[in-house]
Amino acid sequence: MNLTVSFLINNYNYGRFLRQAIDSALAQTYPHCEVVVVDDGSTDDSPGIIRSYGMKIHSIFKENGGQGSALNAGFAQTRGEIIKLLDSDDYLSPIAAERIVSAWHDGVHILHHRLLVVDINGKELGTFPGKNHTLDSGDLVPRLLRDGGYIGLPTSGLAYSRSLLQKLLPMPEAEFRICADGWLTYQAPFLAEVTVLDENLACYRHHDTNAWVNIADTSPKNLSREKVEMFVKHVDTFHNLIRKQARERGLEIATLNRWDSYEVIYFKLILYRLGSDLVKDQYGSMLIRKLIKKIRLSGFTRSEAVRKFFWALTIWLSPRIVLRQMYPKMF
């Protein structure tokens, strides 16, 4: 089956990683590939790096508009039946395209694969998701309606059929300057079942400027008010996408208390104590009850559960002067 795989690489100021990402796409063992690289208005050496590849890749240079804007522009220039997404700070296994095509058959429109997590120098840190987590596959609509999410992948673990992306793109650009993969991962399962390759076919790099990794870091010393509010806004946006798809199909969603993760409720409790407008319709006691329930249901070890429980109570009961010491960047 001579399907063409289009590698769509989005880049903004990741010149220090970009060449490895492009080289990994060009080094595939599968012959029917194209590489499309979108530079989203970088101010570092990225444009020069991209131009150095000449006709080996399809290059797009645009004004800065965010990740969603870059994916919209890049998809419009792809020709493949399969679109494999790749963030420019990540890189591919040389057999990625070969393995994806081997798993592709009539009816496959969404494919997820595991990621090998590496540090800034490529040192292995583990896998995403962790080895104890099974990637969700098949019909994920019931899971989305019940839980508001599923065990899936970020951008570099995703591949889609052209026909499916034509239904979902272009995406709204202002809302998805980062985390544009959420526009796809929270809506695509309503259009097709998810196929999973339980293999590490790309490396997912953790580093100091990785947007979502840093947003999702819940350690108090790294939490800023801007980061926490951005995290909560994005999760609420993702959940609204589920509501939209459910409404269009006449589907009923579960009680929303199940939807928020431990991290989201934890962040909302902090914002509540700070008087943020984002949670003005919430009640502190309700957030505490939801957090305790989520701790009980989240599979934490006993020691982890006890630690998280007392940390939540500390946030709820501490005077603001103590909170200021706990979360110095939140004030």
Which pLDDT score is estimated for 299? Answer: 74
Q: What is the residue extent of each domain of the chain? A: 5-213, 216-330
pTM exceeding 0.85: yes
Structure tokens that stand for 145 in this block: 């309606």
Angle CA 201–107–151, to nearest 5: 45
Rounded to 5 degrees, φ, ψ at 204 are -105, 110
Which pLDDT score is estimated for 254? Answer: 72
DSSP H stretches of helix in the chain: 15-26, 46-51, 67-75, 96-103, 141-147, 162-168, 181-185, 211-215, 225-249, 262-274, 284-297, 302-317, 320-326
Q: Which superfamily does CATH assign the domain made up of 5-213 to?
A: Spore Coat Polysaccharide Biosynthesis Protein SpsA; Chain A (3.90.550.10)
Integer Cα distance of 212 and 111 in angstroms: 21
Which pLDDT score is estimated for 124? Answer: 94
Q: In tens digits, what is the pLDDT along the chain, a chain of 331 residues?
A: 699 999 999 999 999 999 999 999 999 999 999 999 999 999 999 999 999 999 999 999 999 999 999 999 999 999 999 999 999 999 999 999 999 999 999 999 999 999 999 999 999 999 999 888 899 999 999 999 998 999 999 999 999 999 999 999 999 999 999 999 999 999 999 999 999 999 999 999 998 776 555 555 556 767 788 888 888 898 989 999 999 999 999 999 876 556 788 888 888 998 999 888 888 877 788 888 888 888 887 778 889 999 988 988 898 899 989 988 888 888 7
